[in-house]
Chain A
Amino acid sequence: MDLYLPIAEVSVNAPLLVALGALVGFISGMFGIGGGFLMTPVLVFLGIPPAVAVASMSNHVAASSMSSVISYGRRRAVDFRMGGVLAAGGVVGAVLGVEIFRWLRLIGQADLVVALSYLIFLGIIGGLMFWESVGAILRRRRNQPPPPPRGRRPPWLYGLPLKMRFPRSRLYISVIPPILLGVFVGMLSAIMGVGGGFVLVPAMVYILRMPAGIVVGTSLFQIIITTALTGVLQAGRNQTVDILLATLLLLGGVLGAQFGARASSRFRAEELRALLALIVLLVGLRMGLGLFFTPREAFVLMSGTGG
């Protein structure tokens, strides 16, 4: 059953998109990520104009994050105060990101920046996560004890002004690092069409040193606020949000997310992380390595007139 999308102005196979949404939603619920980094490249591959794919993804990511954050909230696994501080930065980042994306499209380098961002960020994060989780799996197999917890928290977290208490995270730190982190993730969200969970989750664990149990819920909470703003901004500034496309994706997405969240309890945490790391690495390489191969066609049409 084919459906004509009013904003993207292409005809797509509706059941395929619902199934795709469900698959990405499942992965998203399982790993506690938005799943935008998977969905956006697939949509572009299916022939949706990249600008529409990136913008409509914001709605999909917001919906599936909303679907999972409520269950995390019930388990008291969301630090709303930390999420709010991150989101304050995220709002600034999203506004900047939407403008940067407009400018990149104007000078014709949006493709390059998007591909490079995928290669660099997914490559680094997938690589680190894979290394760490494989180490953990091997140690378990050999019955070795886990490595001793890392030393004291980095002093720069404490040396900065504007300290704030985060009771749920058991932290008393400056708000500057979380705000900067939020700005960075907000920009990524607008430029790459992702929620940014794959950057946010490791950063909260390794940089802010938040307890692992509340990281995913807090990240999802911040993602809802940032992507909700990105989605409205993309619709208002660029008219690139396709509501039918977003609806098809989120129909599958919200259901998939629920099943994914349940499936996740059947696996060990480090095995899940290794699997996620592999997916992240593959997507990053797939998107980025194209830059190094000689293209079959030397010319490329740019969508829109950039006006």
Chain B
Amino acid sequence: MAIAAPPPSVQAPRAMPAIAAALTDTNVRVNSDFRGDRIVLYGAVFDPLWRPSDVLVIVRGPEQPVRIARKSRVAGVWINSRPVVFHGAPGFYIAASNRPLDDIAHFAELRRLGAGVDHLAINAPAEQRIETRYGIRDMVVSRLGADYYDWRRAVVRLKEAEHLYDVDEHGVRFVDRGLFRAEIALPAEAPIGRYDVRIFLFQNGHPVSQRSRTLTVEKVGVERGLYLWAHQRPWSYGLAAMAFALAAGWAASSAFRRD
């Protein structure tokens, strides 16, 4: 006979708020008819005191360095500058919340969590050097100078144009008391790899509980086979692709032969 032990957490010292969340699908399969996907996340806020709560969901794709150049006019022709490489940029990024981020938390908190495209920790280390300025040692100075923020904003703007970065101020909806739902649109251009999904519960401007989930975007079937072949044995892939092309040309010519 099992003797029921006293439930350990019946009397929590103070009713701590908590958050729980799950993805309806943790595996996005990229096959030949992949045209992007919608990922649905469900979750619940547990708070016996029902304090006002905000939910923030951050989805980050695998990190991809970004090369960006600026066009400038030289002798009447618009040409690219030397490209600048930004590190730390996720290949995909969405911050979804139930109301605008600035209403949920302060600047410093958002910056610390990297919440919102303005707070993404991306920088261009190759363009930086450390020097002494105004008598202060070890200052990080960017070679891009005062334009630095223009470059940084351009990275975000261009990624947003490709639907790879987004901030959705109403992406999280409370569907019932404590129960919320978020939908994340994944474009066909979304990179392959492991995605990190973090769900935060904010109360009074501070994160009080957090959950972490992973999402895998992977190629399957023929797509995966071809991709692996092309990258692991590029020479045999190239030869086979060309042999196939030449054979197709020859076959078409024979089929249309008029004697």
Q: CB within 8 Å of B: which residues of A?
A: 2-4, 6-7, 9-11, 58-60, 62-68, 70-71, 107-109, 111-112, 224, 228, 231-237, 239, 241, 243-244, 246-247, 250-251, 254-255, 257-258, 291-295, 297-302, 304-306
Contact = CB atoms under 8 A, between A and B. Distances in A.
Nearest to A108: B83
Given A65-B249, A236-B238, A297-B158, A291 B78 contact: yes
B167 interface: no
Per DSSP, are chain A's interface residues mostly helix, strand or loop, or mixed? helix
Interface string B228-259: 00110011011101101110111111101100
Give 8 nearest A-B pairs by CB, closest first.
Answer: A235-B238, A66-B249, A254-B252, A299-B154, A108-B83, A302-B67, A11-B188, A67-B249
Given A64-B249, A228-B242, A231-B245, A239 B230 contact: yes
Nearest to A14: B32
Nearest to A3: B32
A59 B157 CA distance: 35
Given A231-B241, A232-B235, A246-B245, A299 B158 contact: yes
| Size category, B interface | 35 or more
B33 interface: yes
Contacts of A236: 234-235, 238
A257 B253 CA distance: 9
A7 B235 contact: no
B25 interface: no
Contacts of A108: 67, 69, 80-83
Contact of A6 (B151, B226, B244): B226
A298 B253 contact: no
Contacts of B231: 239
A295 B78 CA distance: 8
Given A112-B80, A299-B68, A305-B85, A63 B241 contact: no
B82 A107 contact: yes
A292 B75 CA distance: 10
A224 B246 contact: yes
Contact of A306 (B83, B188, B237): B83
Given A4-B188, A63-B249, A247 B244 contact: yes
Contacts of A109: 79-80
Contacts of B257: 71
B226 A239 contact: no
Nearest to A299: B154
